[in-house]
Amino acid sequence: MELWFTEKQTPAFGITAKIRETFVHEKTDFQQLDMIDTEEFGRMLVLDGMVMTTIKDEFVYHEMVAHPALNTHPNPKKVLVVGGGDGGVIREVIKHPEVEKAVLVEIDGKVIEYSKKYLPEIAGKLDDPKVEVIVNDGYMHILNSKNEYDVIMVDSTEPVGPAAPLFEHGFYQGIYEALKEDGIFVAQTDNPWFKADLIQKVNKDVKQIFPIVRVYAANVPTYPSGLWTFTIGSKKHDPLEVDESAIQEMDTKYYSPRLHKAAFVLPKFVEDLVK
């Protein structure tokens, strides 16, 4: 008998993958957590029926959350990752030698536990000496932090359940206050095919708070539509003014110095959303 996992990305559209094995099917204190092994994308973390990451394509998302912001900030010593309990963004953050401390705040400790067990390629740096892991509410951590971080990265699920507050105007204001005077933040902001309204709302909210706001995109096959956006809010440093020749080559599979500025060139229909 064949077993298939299907994510309904909209009420009328979804993606499906053939399953080899189910490792975890558990209702945590916050969400439904499934860890499965698929034939096409390998091991896959699914939260509330939504694909969070897979072994095959995880590098795209994690690299594109981390490196554009870190290569824009001239000296990112202290970095916060909100969400991202799979550890992929943390893995990318600590590739930057100037980062002295990377703090991960994940609300659901089970995500961390099962990612370490079943996704060691992704979660393997969570025990690095530079990394501090806090199992707590990222929203409250932000509100209780003032002038503390050089870069803040919001690696959240889609805006449902425990992640819903991470897409609110007040959260972005809290991020602004938690950043140092030349700080930068970046958040995943979903896809323009199915969530155009969300992208517009986030862009409007962030522009009311940060003087420099840029949107960029990447291709993540297992995310809804495959075209995924990210939004940067910066107090001083513009990612479009970065000297590409000064960006150090590192161990990446998607991001590169040549891609840095190219990622900010958006399809016109996406460009029109964020004017």
**DSSP H stretches of helix in the chain:** 58-70, 88-93, 109-118, 120-123, 138-143, 169-178, 196-207, 257-262, 268-273
The half-sphere exposure of 138 on its side-chain side, counting CA atoms within 13 A, is 29
Token couple for 88: 């992929």
Reported residue count of the chain is 275
Task: Output DSSP code: residue 191.
Answer: -
Q: Name 134's bridge partners.
A: 105
Here the contacts of 47-54 (C-beta below 8 Å, separation 24 or greater) are: 47/111, 47/157, 48/157, 48/160, 48/161, 49/7, 49/8, 50/7, 50/157, 50/158, 51/7, 51/15, 51/222, 51/223, 52/86, 52/157, 53/86, 53/88, 53/119, 53/122, 54/222
* Active-site residue, selected from the candidate residues 34, 86, 155, 205: 155
With tokens 């029926």, the residue in question is 49
> Of 157, 204, 193, 135, which Cα lies nearest the Cα of 165?
157
The string over 18-46, giving b where at least 16 C-beta atoms fall within 10 Å of a residue's C-beta and e elsewhere, is ebeeeebeeebebbebbbbbbeebbbbbb
Active site annotation includes 86: no
Active site residues: 155
